[in-house]
Structure 1
Amino acid sequence: MNHLKTFFFLLICSPLLISACGKTETISTEDTTKKEESLKAREKINVKITLDKKIKDNKKILISGKSNLPKDTEIDIYLEPPNSAHYDQRVTVKDGGLFEYEFSNEEGEEFEGGNYTVYVETAPDHHQTDAVREIFGENGANLVGSTVSDDYIDHRATAEINFKIKNSLKVKQKSKKNNAAEVTKKKDEELSTLKSEAEYEIESIVEDNYKTASIEKIEINQDMSTDQDNKLIALVYLSFDFKNSAQTSYNMVEMFSDDLASKIGTDNNTINQIAVFWKVPYIDEDETLAKFSYERSGEHMIITDKVSSLR
C-alpha cells in the first residue's frame, strides 16, 4: 500500500520538476546570450595605426609603426618604389602595439631616388593566432574606425605613408658639404679658444710684471702668412703711465716689450708674431709714440722692427 502511495506521488510531482528544470535552462541560455552580446560590444577596437620611416645612407629603409592592436597580431608591410618592383614582409606586433621592419637591397645596393609608398594591413583572418582572432571577432567584425577596410571578406586595419628618397649623388654632395661645414666649424671653435688663451696670457704677463704700464687693448688675429693651422699674430696696445723723461720712457717701454716678446715666445707657441704699441700720456695723450715688432725664430722671438718718437 505504501508503495502505491509513493508511485502516485511521483506521478503528480514529475511534471512540476520537469517544468522547473526547463525554466532554469531557458533562463541560463538567455543570460549567456546577453553576456556574449555585451562582451562583443565591449571588444570593438577603434584601430589606430601611425607609421614613420628612417632612411639610412639610401641603403636601408626602416619602417616603424605604433598601434593599439593586440600583441602577436600579424601585419603585412608593402614597400612600393618608383619602379614596378615591390617589397613585402610580414611582421608581428610586439608589446604596446609596436612593430617595425628594415628594407634593404641585395648586396647593400642603394635605393633609387624618387617617390615611395609604404602600405600596411593586418594579415588575413586565417593567418592570425586563435587569441588574436578571438579579439578581432569573426572575419574581423570587431575592427572599426577610419583605418579599417572591408574590401575583403574579412575586415582589415590599414595605414599608409609616402616619402621621397633624394638622388644618391645629391645626398653624397650634401653629406660632403655638411662634413666640410662641420670641419670648418670645429676649426673656428679651436681657433677661437686659442685666441682667448693667448689674450689671457699676454694680459697676465703685463699685469703681473709691468706695474707702471696699463693695457689699452689686445687684438689676436690668425696669421694668414703661413700654411700652418692655428698660428696667431698678437697686437698689444699699452700705456706707459709713469712720468719720466722721453729717453727714460723709451728705455722702459723697449725693455717691457722685449720681455713680453720673450715670455710669449717661450710660453705660447701659437703666436708667430707680436707687435707692441705704446702711448705715453704725459708726453702725448693721443699719439702712439713707440712700436716694437717681433717674429718667431724657433722657441724665441726676435726683434724685426722698432719705431719711436721718444728719442
Structure 2
Amino acid sequence: MIDLIGKYLVWRVIRINFFFLLILCTLLISACGKAENTSTSSSNLKEESIETKEKLNVKISLNKKIKDNKKILISGKSNLPKDTKLTISLECPKCTNYYYDFSNDVTVKEDGVFDYKFANEEGEEFEGGKYTAYAETSPDNLQTEDVRAIFGKDGVNLVGSNVSGGTDRIASAEINFKMKNPSKVKQKIKKNNAAEFTQKKDEELSILKSEAEYEIESIVEDNYTTASIEKIEINEDMGSGEPNKFIALVHLSFDAKNSAKTSYDMTEMFSDDLAAKIGSDNDSISQLSVFWKVPYISDKSAAKFSYERSGDKMIIKSKSTILK
C-alpha cells in the first residue's frame, strides 16, 4: 500500500513539472514571436520612410560664354542642394580631330549655381563646329552624406524631366552651340588669293562677310526654335561713308502653326531681337532687312522688317506685312 502511495506521489510531481515546463516553453515562443514582429515592423517602417521621403523635382539649365574662341565657360542654375558633385563634359563629334574633355570635380554652390571653364593647352583656339556640353550628377560615392540623404539610395528620390535611369538615377542637362573659327577662314582665303593690295582688300571683305553671315546664322539657330533659314545675303554698303560696312538681307521662315496675328507678333519679336543682337555684336552691318515666309498662312512673302544702325544699336526703319 505504501509503495502504491509513493508511486502515485512521484507521478503527481512529474506531471506538475511537465505542465510547468509546457507553460515556460509557451511563454518563450510567445516572446520570440513578439520580438520577430517588432523587428519586422521596424524594418517595414524604415523601408516606408525611404519610399515616402519627399521627392526632389530636379531643374537644371545651362548657359555658355565663349571668349576669344579660346575659352568656353559653362555655367548652370539648378535647385540641387549645396555641395552636390557634378561631372561637366564637352564634346565635338564632327571636329576634324574628335574633341572630348570633362571634369568630375564641379561642386554646386549656394542657390544651386555652378560653372566650369574649358580651355585648350597652350591657349590654342577651339576648332570650328557644333559642340555639346553636358552636366550630370556624380555617383553616390562622390556625394556628401547630406546630399545622399536628399537624393536617396541610388537617386531614388530624384524626379522630373531632367532625371533619367532606373535603379541608378541621375539628374542631367545639356546645351548645344556652334564655335566659329575665323583664323581658319582667313588662312584658307589667303592661300587662294594673290598678295596684291586689291586682292587683300577683297580677302578682308570676304572674311568680314563670312563672319557676319555665320554670326546671323548662329543667332537664328540658337535662339528661334520655330524659325528656319531660307537664305542670308551680305552685300557691301556702297552708300556708307565708312569702309567695310554691309547690308544684311536675311530670309527666314516662321514654321509654327499659328494665327496670322500671332505669326506677325512672333516674326516682329524675332526680327527686333536679331537686330538688337547684331547692333551690339557686329558693327560691320550698317543695315538689316529681315524677310519672312509663313507657310501655314501664305506662299508669298508675309512680312518684312528693315533696320539701320544708330551708334551701337539698330533702329527700325520700316515694316510691312500681309498678316494683319
Q: Normalising by structure 2, report the TM-score.
A: 0.44
Larger Cα Rg: Structure 1 or Structure 2?
1
TM-score normalized by the length of structure 1: 0.46
